[in-house]
Amino acid sequence: MIANDLIIADIGYGEYKEVLELQRSLNRARNQDAIPDVLIAVSHPHVYTMGIHRNPDEILDPNLEVFQVERGGSATYHGPGQIVIYFIINLRDRQMNIRDLIITIEGAISHTLKHYGISSEGRLHGETGVWVGNRKICSVGLAINGFSTLHGIALNVNTDMARFDVIMPCGMTSEIMTSLQRETGSIQDEKEVKMILLKSLSESLKVQEPLTLNKIEELREILMGNGL
């Protein structure tokens, strides 16, 4: 086991299916205590996913390719201009339940948005995510397998919001979705936003010095080094 309490893997651009398979492998390894907790920061090409609360009526374009996955929630979009972070967190070791973790994550996101002068809150009218007024700026959808989580969040920074028009995100009309660019009126530095968010998440998880990786291959090497 690596001595650090947390690995942050900022892997840049990654195909959704490839990163999904990696998450599942890391989740199994975390359940065996073979690795510490992991955060994966990534940007995906255009892709649509559907969580466990699946409703075919939320897909407005029947020709869309949609990944059916085990996270909470229903339909959403991932793509360029969006910061996606996946959480491989052992809840038992951290003495947390899933709701505790979601509150922690939403708080870190709100802290990040405050840096840009945006007031936000987690969970509006029982709906998860982070909201600016009645507009959703960040989607949250986690899953638990064993004692550990997978899946995570999608923060809209410079996202092409028209991409939401072919679905009903989380069962709502696409007009509820917003982005940092839309709220501030200007294009934002995604690397800066990601740096602030990852720092806020580390602090919220009470981690002082996470191990930082920058390539997906480095995560695979850690798995292989543990015979996984």
Q: Where are the domains positioned within the chain?
A: 6-225
The pLDDT value recorded for residue 123 is 80
Q: Smallest Cα–Cα separation from 112: which of 190, 210, 212?
A: 190
The pLDDT value recorded for residue 62 is 86
Cα→Cα distances 75→55, 91, 95, Å: 8, 26, 30
Active site residue 170: yes
Beta bridge partners of 49: 67, 76
The pLDDT value recorded for residue 73 is 84
Which residues of the chain register pLDDT less than 70?
Answer: 1-4, 125, 226-228
The pLDDT value recorded for residue 27 is 97
What are the pLDDT digits (tens) for 80-115? 999 999 999 999 999 999 999 999 999 999 999 999
The pLDDT value recorded for residue 3 is 46
The pLDDT value recorded for residue 228 is 58
Catalytic entry in 50, 105, 170, 205? 170
The pLDDT value recorded for residue 171 is 81
- Taking domain 6-225, whether its CATH number is 3.30.930.10 is answered by yes
Cα→Cα distances 209→12, 153, 203, Å: 21, 22, 10
The set of residues, in sequence order, having a beta carbon less than 8 Å from that of 70 and lying 6+ positions away, is: 51, 52, 143, 145, 150, 151
pTM for the complete prediction? Answer: 0.94
